[in-house]
Amino acid sequence: MISTAQSKLIRSLRHKKFRDQHRIFMLEGEKMVVELASGEGKSNFLIRELIATPEWIDAYKALLHSQNFKITEATQAEIKKVSNLVTPQPVIALVKIPETEFRIQELLQTPVLAFESIRDPGNLGTIIRTADWFGIRHIVCTPDSTDLYNPKVVQSTMGAITRVRVHYMELEPLLNSKEIQEKTIFGTFMEGENIYSSSLEPDPLILFGNESHGLSDSLSPYIGHRISIPTFSPEGKGSESLNVASSVAVICSELRRK
């Protein structure tokens, strides 16, 4: 049974203030919970508490037998009351937010995706999932971007949150560092070199702007190459622009293809 205190805690985790205070976030989705509980991917994320129906607990008793986190039985109706999903699944995990230390060396011999003021949780979650698909392990976001542990972000990653590191920091000091200046820096724009005819060098840093305003002019001095995804729609009949998450998928595909 979910206690009143547990229910209050779970509901509070919808807000960043309380996620930061308790250093935990909620993970929903049977596949993601099983993956994390089984230790797949050797994640730094640890489950603090599992809340599940008796039927789910019985079905996964072999997996749960050796775990040392708290397990609470709850009815599907109880889970529904605290769930963020329209159709709740039979298990919820409360996961500890890992303490991580940023080391700039981690960004050097690998592709890096960097984002200025990404505000839509669904976009960020999809970006993380896309990065995972293409084997990109580091993403940088400005501090005013949506929170990594926002429930919509977590859900949209479909488990990739445990495999892709997301670093929050201002972009100008990072781009101005001598280590990052050794990387090739690309910026994405509506007008730039056609991505399909560009040469994307190995292990670049690729900048993406805010969903509405694009990249700030203040970042221009750090950008070595301006790239763009061309439209193939007849003039005047196409969409105004691509969604940023869609743009990430196209550019990551071209990066890996070349």
Same domain as 242, residue 132: yes
- Quote the strand ranges of the chain, DSSP E: 24-28, 46-52, 70-73, 91-96, 112-115, 138-141, 165-168, 185-194, 205-208, 225-228
Out of 43, 64, 96, pick the residue that ends a domain: 96
Average pLDDT in the chain: 93
- Alpha-carbon distance 37 to 21, whole Å? 24
Same domain as 42, residue 108: no
Confidence band for 241, pLDDT divided at 50, 70 and 90:
confident
Tokens representing 81 are: 């009351």
Q: State the pLDDT at residue 9.
A: 97
- Alpha-carbon distance 1 to 77, whole Å? 11
In a 13 Å sphere around the CA of 95, the CA atoms on its Cβ side amount to: 28
Question: Residue 241 burial (CB < 10 Å; 0-12/13-18/19+)?
Answer: middle
Out of 63, 96, 129, pick the residue that ends a domain: 96
Q: 127: helix, coil or strand?
A: helix
Q: Tens digits of per-residue pLDDT, 23-49?
A: 999 999 899 999 999 876 557 899 999
Asked if 84 and 26 touch (Cβ cutoff 8 Å), the reply is yes
Model confidence, pTM: 0.93
pLDDT for 83 beyond 90: yes
> pLDDT exceeding 90 applies to what percent of the chain?
84
Q: What is the mean pLDDT of residues 61-81?
A: 93
Give the number of domains in the chain. Answer: 2
What CATH number did the domain enclosing 44 receive? 3.30.1330.30
**Which three-class secondary structure string do you get for 154-210?**
HHHHCCHHHCCEEEECCHHHHHHCCCHHHCCEEEEEEEEEECCCCCCCCCCEEEECE
> pLDDT exceeding 70 applies to what percent of the chain?
97
The DSSP bridge pattern shows strands 46-52 and 91-96 to be antiparallel
Same domain as 208, residue 80: no
Sign, Cα dihedral of 165, 107, 184, 201: negative
Confidence band for 201, pLDDT divided at 50, 70 and 90:
confident
Q: State the pLDDT at residue 41.
A: 52
Closest to 54 measured CA to CA, from 35, 37, 73, 78: 73
Same domain as 208, residue 124: yes
Provide the domain limits for residue 143: 104-257
* Distances 2 to 6, 79, 121, 252 between C-alpha atoms, Å: 6, 8, 28, 43
Q: Tens digits of per-residue pLDDT, 204-234?
A: 999 999 988 899 999 999 999 999 999 888 7
Q: Tens digits of per-residue pLDDT, 102-149?
A: 999 999 999 999 999 999 999 999 999 999 999 999 999 999 999 999
Asked if 47 and 93 touch (Cβ cutoff 8 Å), the reply is yes
- Alpha-carbon distance 113 to 162, whole Å? 17
Q: State the pLDDT at residue 233.
A: 82
Same domain as 84, residue 126: no
Out of 96, 117, 135, pick the residue that ends a domain: 96
Closest to 60 measured CA to CA, from 76, 73, 42, 77: 73
